[in-house]
Amino acid sequence: MRNLSAVTEFILLGIPHTEGLETMLLVLFLSFYIFTLMGNLLILLAIVSSARLHTPMYFFLCKLSIFDIFFPFVSSPKMLCYLSGNSRAISYAGCTSQLFFYHFLGCTECFLYTVMAYDRFVAICHPLHYTLIMSHRACIILAMGTSFFACIQATFLTTLTFQLPYCGPNEVDYYFCDIPVMLKLACADTSALEMVGFISVGLMPLSCFLLILTSYSCIICSILQIHSAEGRRRAFSTCSAHLTAILLSFIPVVLIYLQPTPNPWLNATVQILNNLVTPMLNPLIYSLRNKEVKYSLRKVLQPVAFLPGR
């Protein structure tokens, strides 16, 4: 007979097909997180310390860097813990928290990319009204709105997942608690909830992507009308960094949640890239092609380079 006692903890089985690679993965993922932390802290320091960067675009980039620091922190500590040989067990509350904060931070970033695209649209297509439209008050409202609506989305998805009874097997065939793997463990029919979750998870990024696509279609049309070659180059340079970051963020969502037949190994690989590699690459994407950020970073790092004994 099936054990019908309520589950109080789950066992994370880890990344599929990586048995015997724990030490290598530990070093690799720890390196990723350290570089993510350092890169995003440097971006924050560069923006905060330079008055030239106190503009709406860098205000939103600042918030993105903060969320890029916390996003890997949802799944990385527990993953690094069991890769180093410690317990794979996670409490019911811990599992719920992982799922909530993963979707809260992910949705916030998704909304934030949309707001950043709107900011570029106003700056390039309506430059004379930019300071009026993207006022300090408007930026605060937009920044708070991204987190507010992300919280609603994450609460809905978490409630949808954990309202189900979990009374049988407690082995999560993944490296953290996410919706598809948790639904497999539920002691109830999940077909209707899977459909609702599929629509909810798919609709939000799709809506954001369409808004971003609309913004950039208008931006490209405006850029092509700029007569100065230098002006076109600068506009494309600013927008290309944002578009690269958007593609790195949205493609994994499509591959993980919208594929017809889930592949556990592919999902884990893509999700690790999304959780650890994308937050690490964002500081590089936004600084390498941005002269103002590079100049500010040089000013921040110069005193360090000339410290006594260096």
Query: pLDDT for 173-223, tens place per residue?
Result: 888 898 888 888 888 888 877 777 777 777 888 888 899 989 988 988 888
Does pLDDT of 308 surpass 70?
no
Label residue 3 by pLDDT band (50, 70, 90): very low
CA distance 123 to 235: 10
Give the whole-angstrom CA distance, residue 202 versus residue 221.
29
List all residues 6 or more positions away from 210 whose beta carbon is below 8 Å from its beta carbon. none
Alpha helices in the chain (DSSP H): 22-49, 56-70, 76-83, 92-125, 130-133, 136-162, 179-183, 191-224, 229-257, 264-272, 278-288, 291-305
- pTM check: above 0.85: yes
Report strand pairing: 171-172 vs 9-12.
parallel
Helix, strand, or coil (residue 10): strand
Return the number of other C-beta atoms located less than 10 Å from residue 303's C-beta: 8
Q: Which residues contact 162 (CB under 8 A, 6 or more apart)?
A: 96, 99, 182
Residue 137: other Cβ atoms inside 10 A: 8
With b meaning 16 or more CB within 10 Å and e meaning fewer, what string describes 144-157? eebbeebeebbeeb
Q: In what order do the strands lie in the sheet with 89-91?
A: 89-91, 9-12, 171-172
Which tokens go with 27?
Answer: 């070093």
Q: How far apart are CA 308 and CA 286, in angstroms?
A: 31
Q: What is the pLDDT of residues 102-114, one digit of tens each?
A: 999 999 999 999 9
According to the model, what pLDDT value does residue 307 have? Answer: 52
